[in-house]
Structure 1
């Protein structure tokens, strides 16, 4: 079973790339972030023609998340948003797929530590932590995939000194990430790759991708039962080389069959 996450930075713009990537990489589950589409504008017909079913939570201009599953897999027990947390921003969708509880999340960016959006990020992280805790307690096989907008440690940024204390790398954000880990989850990428300079996002400006000056902010956290089945976790840089790419690239987890 293969699960992947990809912030596509507008599904309307990137739909041909998503379809091409799925053709080249027929993963079982693909979690998408930043759809930037209204709920009724989701390209359901095109996705289904590619052999996938979907559950999605759309929002015009900003945000939006979706879980795509390859037939004959199905989605059940779909939950939109964080239960009990009143949020106009559509950032989380959860479903059970093939016995695995899959949560797709587009974490708040926060803009800057002195921005009014930063306290919102910390409050949102606290709400998400409570939700994840309840889901981990209820589901042995659990995976949290998405754009976390958090680089967990200095290996995950191209210039740790320049990024020190800034949004994505501030101590409160990193502490929130490790509180998720403490719920019984593992960073699946770091189960296999301990190297630095492994990134999933690169700014469009200043040839940052070509120079490999990026950050690793797209993650797949998994429960212990899935950790025991994990065979590989890779960052696929190929789509970042395409014309008009997303500034993010997919992260793919491979699990052994039960």
Structure 2
């Protein structure tokens, strides 16, 4: 294996969409996967099915909501932490961290923040602040690190089909974008935008108003690379075919390939 494929996928319910997940794992064979929105408690995570597909896993579940996991092909990820340090609400399962295939992997599901203004948006920003603090230590750790997941942030107007009906949405508020930019200012590389600086790339299409058939999407799933990992970036993309499956998640898997 000369390259490593790392992916992030908001599964939007792992029990109901397990067949799609297994089909994707078989067809695309990513080496590392960060999953979000498991919507399942720890005790019902389908680890036997995951192992049968050739993957080890660690997970941080939550009944009905949130939940994150890291999968690694042909190995068990080495757990580092479950939960973000100083998380403003430890009842919500939104962060997990492990080592796999020589990479430190942080998997995250950042709060949506809607409706805004209000307590949900305040929580989004408070959680983002703790992520920024933790990310600085990861960036400086000296190991190759990827921070991958559903950031619930549309970085720029170029990352959404049209801003007209989304002006009040938490995903593109100036405060949300400013937090994301502060992450990048630490030195993190937004891998897909780095690879495709002039191309509209979407990772999410909601279920309303025919947004998927019309390709009215947005880019909110990101893989950020630190200085040790970014020079090894070689390719990336979105597995759009998964979004076209019956009863699909509203996200499509987003992936990169790096040199070993």
After superposition, the Cα gap between the structure-2 partners of 1:84 and 1:167, relative to the gap in structure 1 and judged at 3 Å, is closer
> RMSD between aligned alpha carbons?
1.2
Q: 1:49-198 maps to which residues of 2 (within 5 A)? A: 49-71=52-74, 73-85=75-87, 86-164=89-167, 166-198=169-201
How far did 1:165 drift? Answer: 5.1
How far did 1:196 drift? Answer: 4.6
* TM-score, scaled to structure 2: 0.95
Give structure 2 stretches of 5+ with no counterpart. none
Moved over 3 A (4+): none
Give structure 1 stretches of 5+ with no counterpart. none
How far did 1:134 drift? Answer: 1.5
How far did 1:183 drift? Answer: 1.5
- Conservation of the 8 A alpha-carbon contact between 1:101 and 1:139: no
CA–CA distance in structure 2, aligned partners of residues 135 and 191 of structure 1:
20
| Structure 1 counterpart of 2:43 | 40
- Conservation of the 8 A alpha-carbon contact between 2:58 and 2:79: no
| Structure 2 counterpart of 1:27 | 30
| Structure 1 counterpart of 2:220 | 217
- Conservation of the 8 A alpha-carbon contact between 2:55 and 2:76: no
Q: Does 1:240 align with 2:243?
A: yes
CA–CA distance in structure 1, aligned partners of residues 20 and 28 of structure 2:
12
* TM-score, scaled to structure 1: 0.96
CA–CA distance in structure 1, aligned partners of residues 96 and 173 of structure 2:
26
Count of aligned positions = 256
